[in-house]
Amino acid sequence: DQQVKQNSPSLSVQEGRISILNCDYTNSMFDYFLWYKKYPAEGPTFLISISSIKDKNEDGRFTVFLNKSAKHLSLHIVPSQPGDSAVYFCAASVRFGIQGAQKLVFGQGTRLTINP
Amino acid sequence: KAGVTQTPRYLIKTRGQQVTLSCSPISGHRSVSWYQQTPGQGLQFLFEYFSETQRNKGNFPGRFSGRQFSNSRSEMNVSTLELGDSALYLCASSPWTGNDYGYTFGSGTRLTVV
């Protein structure tokens, strides 16, 4: 059961244009969403996050939008730069258990390529 | 400050053997989580430790186990290795202040089972 889905395995964008990466989820209990960027042979690097009580969060060139009714979030990168070429993972978390422990549920990732 | 350190970076084992991977979290971080990354399944949650106690466990067989020491360092162990255990194993640490959801990942241990 894939609770977090990234339906586009790859995306190619021209340098300077906007990159939009999409993510859908099924579990309405998720209360926090994150985007990670990953280069080969390295661990994921945190990019930006959003709480389920918000619908937008912005950090420099990165903006994450959350549409709870559609159970959809997206990451916008403007303008796209060659260094943005990497695999992007969206992740969702839910607290559970007495101690409020949590885990991250990841999507399958989208490989973004920025063309010069 | 130093990041999350995982050792070794690469490991080759044969089927049936067992392996232990190590993770040193960022100083002050009390929560350590482990994830498995494979091309087919993506990033899958293995387990999470906090103050030497396992709080969560993912949907993995009992061959996968872990522990956390009093200094927050963590180890995971895989016994009776199978070819399908070949993967990148990632460790992530978090300060777990209750409001801080920040997970910092290490570079991972690439395990190859032959």
Average pLDDT over residues A28-41: 89
- The answer to whether the CB atoms of B106 and A104 lie below 8 A apart is no
Task: Indicate yes or no: CB of B42 within 8 angstroms of CB of A109.
Answer: yes
The distance of B47 to chain A (nearest Cα, Å) reads 8
What is the pLDDT at residue B94?
Answer: 86
- Closest C-alpha among B37, B2, B74, B27 to residue A42: B37
Tokens 């801080």 correspond to B100
Q: Which residues of B touch A23 (CB under 8 A)?
A: none
Q: Taking 80 as the threshold, does the pLDDT of residue B100 lie above it?
A: no
pLDDT in tens, B10-64: 999 999 999 999 999 999 888 899 999 998 778 999 999 988 999 888 999 999 9
Q: Residue A20: pLDDT band by 50, 70, 90 thresholds? A: very high
Strands in chain A per DSSP E: 4-5, 10-14, 19-25, 32-38, 45-51, 56-59, 62-67, 72-77, 86-96, 101-106, 110-115
**Which range has highest mean pLDDT (A2-6, A29-33, B79-83)?**
B79-83
